[in-house]
Amino acid sequence: MDGALNPAHGELPQDPVGGMPPEAPLPMPEQDLDRTPPRERGPWPSAAVVYARIILICTTLAIASYGVYQMLQVVRFARMTLLQGLMIVFFAITLAWIALATGSALAGSSKRREARRRAPAPASRTALVMPIYNEDPLRTMSALQAMAEALAAAGEHPGFEIVVLSDSTDADAWIRESLAVSRLRAALAGAMPVWYRRRWRNVARKAGNIEDFVERWGGRYDYMVVLDADSLIEASTLVGLVREMQADPRLGILQTAPMLIGARTLFGRLQQFAARVYGPVITRGLAAWSGDSGNYWGHNAIIRVAAFAESCGLPELPGRKPFGGHVLSHDFVEAALLRRRGWKVRMTTELGGSWEESPPSLIDLAARDRRWAQGNLQHLKVLRTRGLAFTSRLHLGIGIMSYLSSPLWLILLTIGFALALQSHLIRPEYFTQDFQLFPTWPRFDTQRMTALFWFSMVVLLVPKTIGFVGALLKPSLRRDSGGAIGVTASVFFEVLLSALYAPILMLIQCRHVFEILMGRDSGWKAQRRDVEGMSWSEAWSFHKRHFLLSCVTAIIVWFLSPPMLAWVSPALLGLFLSVPLSRYSGSATAGRLLSRVGLLRTPEESRSPPLAARRTALLAAAPALPDDGLEYLARHREARWAHLHGNLPRPADPRGEPNAHALTAEQKLHQARTLHEALAWLTPLERVQVAGDARMLAQLALLPDTRRPGGPV
């Protein structure tokens, strides 16, 4: 036992206090990024990790060096112009970026199979932590119930507890959460404790939500498995994660490699298939060269709570938003800070049974990417942190480059376009010096440039090719994905669609980076988990600039050089079709059509895992929750009691600073003559105050409901 008290010994009481167990504080000091903390030196990386890193470095350098050399041969010059120099520099950066992915994929081929821990794990207490923010509680509670039932069926449930950490700001969403948690407690009574806490102050978003939990209740737990609202993890995987942590006392985080599941739309199924076929290549590569200096993706991972509290108290970054303030993409930073103190951070590629869901449409992906872009670019300030391992800095750099690469590609294309424009409009100067005997002939090796283009495409497609060959060689994956013909057709279809979506995503990310550099904050909006499609007007409003840019560029290129239009047409075609591509990306009808013809199938789609099937069944059977939560609480005394007793009380206002929304809400309730009138008067912020106050809820319940017979309940 390391960390918390053994639940088998009964040292901690189990009676809930406002929806949560008694507090067990665990200090979580703020980390000083300018000072290296004391750390325990671990062993040197294993020979396998060193070998994988050699493959990564040598492959990246070899590809980048060869590409730059060939580019220099394409444009031989007596005197380099500024545009030529810039083109070579940006070409080197972008080629090195895709070469890094190829090197990582090749390094993954050297990774050996991990040893599985089969010995019984010592007694421990693990929290299944699910932070939520204005989510659909029926989906989240169905997933938690399915996981809890699977653990109970395996006889492993005594060591686990469910903890739902809400940051919801909408009163109706909060009330629906309370009612759903109450049902979950009843369903799991005697099998697994279910705790629920909603914060009144949403400080530091998800990172602050988890930090508050660790500081107040972290001493109760040895480990926490952090889940997203769309996460699913099999019982055997959860038990395996705990055993891995027990077997290595210096292991701080063990990250699983979640697969995508449950996609119904065209875009969702496209991402799902790509993750299933190419994803293992990427994750095996990351795990191979990262070793014990791995990364954390913020969910579907197990964390040693004591190590997390010791190492991961995030400071506010200096400066104004969006680069300053609270750390947004906290997961990368937490992994780096754990490693800084000598804790191991690893990724497991052998433990399957870990799933998540994908954004259902291109626009939903763009909305999520806006938050991620700001968080990852914010890591530019974290890179200077003292004491970070080189591999941790590399992970942060990769996260930054995943968004800076789009502007870099756009700059490279713009420079190439400018060079073409220059060659067409400006007469070359053959005699650059007075009294020069022989002219300086401009040179552009078209044949070599074509070969370099195809070389870059091969480098870009190496990870996908490895994944494609691997899928063909795995009988179960090949069979459940439509056979060899089905897999081959799906890969070609995925490559084609991805090529069309790529220029759209490039421009979207360029806009994100521009907005961030201009100081615009991303805000914090709830993520859409499901969508049946979008209107043409919504797609046109979002993509009209992309369409118009493709038309203007095509016209200019046609007048300059018709043959050049053939070269740029693949990129322009995606932009020209951006409106219908986006419109149908969120179409479940298009997704079903592809499934019928056998395209983009995955094993999880062909044979749904029992855990996912159970979640779907629970969700289908769950009674609907009220749209107007306050109205429901006013009409149902039992629901009112469950809501009030299942939540921690609202913190007291500081002396001399009463909450203005609570005061105005109370006055409106005093003046209202009917329930409908009171509900119509209350603002969203006032509704939150009423939902958390027993006295105001009782006052609301006493108001007559003129829309239904009977008095208050």
* pLDDT tens, position by position, 576-627: 999 999 999 999 999 999 999 999 999 998 889 999 999 999 999 999 999 9
In the structure, what pLDDT confidence band is assigned to residue 4 with cuts at 50, 70 and 90? very low
Confidence check: pLDDT of 138 > 70: yes
380: left (phi over 0), alpha (psi -120 to 50) or beta: alpha
Q: Among candidates 43, 104, 61, which has minimal Cα distance to 289?
A: 104
The CATH classification number of 7-35+126-403 equals 3.90.550.10
pLDDT-based confidence at residue 567 (cuts at 50, 70, 90): confident
pLDDT given for residue 319 in this prediction: 87
Q: Give residue 708's pLDDT.
A: 64
Residue 170 corresponds to which tokens in the numbers above? 């909408």
What amino acid occupies position 502? Answer: A
pLDDT of residue 118: 58
Lowest mean pLDDT among 264-268, 281-285, 332-336, 653-657: 653-657
**Residue 527, token pair as written in the block:** 């993520």
pLDDT at residue 534 tops 90? no
- CA 307/CA 317 separation, integer angstroms: 22
CA distance 173 to 597: 39
CA 313 to chain centre: 21
Asked if residue 709 has pLDDT above 80, the reply is: no
Phi-psi region of 608 (alpha: psi -120 to 50; beta: other; left: phi over 0): beta
Highest mean pLDDT pick, 320-334, 417-431, 519-533, 629-643: 629-643
Q: How many CB atoms lie within 10 A of CB 414?
A: 13
What's the pLDDT score for residue 5? 36
Q: Torsion over CA of 176, 177, 178 and 183, rounded to 10 degrees?
A: 90
pLDDT score recorded for residue 110:
79
| Distance, C-alpha 34 to centroid of its chain | 28
What is the average pLDDT score of the chain? 89
Nearest to 381 by CA among 429, 322, 440: 322
Confidence check: pLDDT of 450 > 70: yes
Q: State the average pLDDT over residues 406-412.
A: 93
Cβ-contact 525, 169 below 8 angstroms: no
Residue pair 470/491 in contact by the 8 Å Cβ criterion? no
The pLDDT assigned to 83 comes to 81
Per the model's pLDDT, the better-predicted residue between 664 and 74 turns out to be 664
Q: Which residues lie below 8 Å from residue 38, measured CB to CB, with a gap of 6+?
A: 341
What is the model's pTM? 0.91
Per DSSP, 325 falls in state B
Domain limits of the chain? 7-35+126-403, 629-650+657-702
pLDDT of 447:
73
DSSP string computed for 617-666: HHHHHSPPPPSSHHHHHHH-HHHHHHHHHTSPPPPPPPTT---HHHHHHH
pLDDT of res. 2: 41
What local confidence, expressed as pLDDT, does residue 563 receive?
Answer: 74
CA distances to 186, 284, 418, 433, 441 from 79, in Å: 79, 46, 18, 12, 11
Across-strand partners of 164?
A: 130, 196
Residue 11 is predicted with a pLDDT of 40
% residues pLDDT > 90 (the chain): 74
53 touches 101 (CB < 8 A): no
Please provide the size of the chain in residues: 713
Instruction: Reply yes or no on whether the pLDDT at 424 is more than 80.
Output: no
Q: Of 236, 16, 216, which Cα lies nearest the Cα of 147?
A: 236
SS3 of residue 388 by DSSP: coil
pLDDT of residue 9: 35
pLDDT, position 115: 64
Give the whole-number percent of the chain exceeding pLDDT 70.
90
